């Protein structure tokens, strides 16, 4: 078996395509169950964020896995499988380890070093465990990748400054509006992890802010978020008041998932003053046809990515440091994996030989009946020694080749030859 990672992300696909390829969270379990229903896929974890839709799996055959995963994604998203072909990012075996650790380290995020991805990876693993679609191989890889992500943020300066997607969005709002936010009302749509980060960043960084109104389709979640903050400037309103709240705000940040826009052209036309709307949703949560509204300006993830690219020059050294940490952890994981892989097949081979020796000595027991104890033990010792010498070379070869293509072939041949 081998590891593979297949999916689409913001590095190889447009935001428009990623928007179409987004899978709602309530569908993730179905995706996992469909993946492991394929005979070629033994374990699977599904990672779905606003900028990443990926499957990591333990498989038998490379090309068959690409087809199985692509068809599953096509079914889940309603996109023709052929549209994925030119946009797919595919990593195999060693490349999977490096890829996931780089993702966890924030090296493949729009905001390098951002923290949200660690929570998203943990959630993906938890769901796979709930659905019983993961085993020791992927579980160990995800735990090690998350540990690497924490280490990168502790030992390097990659997380200095803009450390989260949420904080980057708030920073963009400050750059756009500056002092206009003093005494202003802000609306945050959503109550999930991203929305929580946005609200906290607003309250912590915007001076003189009058009020942050949290609106969510499930009002109880908005209330829970506000209560957890313990800040009188944060209030929750029911979803029915969304348009009125947005219309009276100076800034609205939408950090919610929706199959159709939550705010339409007509909704935003009701704004009573100048309004900046930052749409962090994929799919778009705010209608894009608002250019003719002179009082409304809409920014989305594309604008956010462009700004981050411009300010990343002063953190190139930190990125290089983070890459070195990741590279070291990748090598450590692969070395440990080789040791684990060799240990398993070697243990099974030795156990098989021991069983053969024990069974043969028991079968020939009557022929040794006239031997005294010393003579019997000598025979047993000679037999065990001969078998150990015969097993030595296969054992060494399995250990030395573990983790390589040759090692996989030798392990498969060993299991087949000795019926392990």
Six token digits for residue 265: 């052209």
Task: Give the number of residues written for the chain.
Answer: 420
For residue 296, the cross-strand partners are: 275
For residue 46, the cross-strand partners are: 55
* Secondary structure class of 245 (helix, strand, coil): helix
Long-range contacts of 267-274 (CB under 8 A, 24+ apart): 267/242, 267/243, 268/293, 268/296, 269/293, 269/296, 270/243, 270/244, 271/246, 271/247, 271/295, 271/296, 272/247, 272/248, 274/180, 274/250
Burial class (CB in 10 A: 0-12, 13-18, 19+), 152: buried
Beta strand spans in 50-200 (E):
52-59, 89-92, 185-189
Quickly list DSSP for 329-363: HHHHHHHHHHHHHHHHHHHHHHHHHHHHHHHHHHH
Query: Which distant-in-sequence residues (6+ apart) come within 8 Å of 312 by Cβ?
Result: 112, 319
Q: CA 106 to CA 88: how far, in whole Å?
A: 20
Q: CA 377 to CA 145: how far, in whole Å?
A: 51
The residue from 50, 69, 88, 271 that is catalytic is 50
DSSP 273: S
50 among known catalytic residues = yes
Phi, psi of 54 (to 5 degrees): -140, 155
Phi, psi of 52 (to 5 degrees): -155, 125
β-sheet with 211-215: strand ranges across: 234-237, 211-215, 185-189, 251-254, 275-279, 296-300
Catalytic site residues? 50
């Amino acid at each position: 078996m081998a590891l593979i990672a297949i999916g689409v992300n913001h590095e190889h696909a447009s935001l428009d395509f990623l928007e179409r390829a987004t899978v709602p969270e309530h569908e993730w379990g179905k995706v996992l169950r469909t993946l492991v229903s394929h005979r070629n896929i033994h374990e699977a974890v599904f990672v779905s964020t606003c900028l990443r839709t990926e499957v990591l799996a333990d498989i038998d055959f490379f090309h068959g896995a690409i087809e199985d995963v692509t068809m599953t994604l096509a079914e889940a998203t309603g996109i023709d499988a052929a549209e994925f072909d030119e946009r797919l990012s595919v990593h195999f075996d060693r490349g999977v380890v490096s890829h996931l650790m780089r993702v966890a380290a924030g090296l493949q995020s729009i905001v390098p070093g951002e923290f949200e991805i660690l929570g998203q990876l943990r959630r993906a693993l938890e769901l796979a465990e709930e659905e019983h679609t993961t085993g020791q191989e992927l579980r160990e890889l995800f735990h090690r990748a998350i540990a690497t992500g924490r280490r990168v943020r502790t030992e390097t300066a990659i997380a200095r400054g803009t450390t989260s997607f949420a904080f980057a969005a708030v920073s963009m709002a400050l750059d756009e509006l500056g002092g206009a936010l003093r005494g202003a009302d802000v609306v945050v749509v959503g109550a999930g992890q991203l929305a929580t980060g946005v609200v906290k960043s607003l309250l912590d960084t915007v001076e003189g802010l009058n009020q942050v109104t949290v609106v969510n389709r499930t009002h109880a979640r908005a209330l829970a978020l506000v209560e957890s903050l313990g800040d009188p400037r944060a209030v929750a309103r029911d979803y029915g008041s969304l348009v009125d709240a947005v219309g009276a705000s100076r800034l609205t940040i939408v950090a919610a998932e929706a199959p159709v826009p939550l705010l339409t052209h007509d909704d935003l036309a009701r704004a009573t003053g100048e309004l900046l709307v930052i749409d962090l949703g994929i799919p778009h949560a705010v209608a894009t046809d608002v250019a003719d509204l002179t009082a409304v300006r809409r920014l989305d993830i594309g604008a956010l990515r462009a700004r981050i690219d411009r300010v990343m020059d002063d953190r190139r050294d930190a990125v290089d440091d983070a890459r070195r940490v990741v590279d070291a952890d990748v090598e450590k994981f692969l070395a440990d994996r080789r040791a684990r892989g060799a240990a398993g097949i070697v243990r099974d081979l030795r156990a098989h030989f021991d069983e053969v020796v024990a069974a043969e000595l028991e079968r020939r027991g009557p022929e040794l009946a006239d031997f005294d104890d010393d003579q019997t033990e000598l025979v047993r010792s000679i037999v065990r020694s001969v078998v150990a010498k015969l097993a030595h070379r296969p054992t060494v070869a399995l250990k030395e080749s573990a983790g390589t293509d040759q090692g996989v072939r030798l392990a498969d041949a060993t299991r087949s030859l000795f019926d392990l």
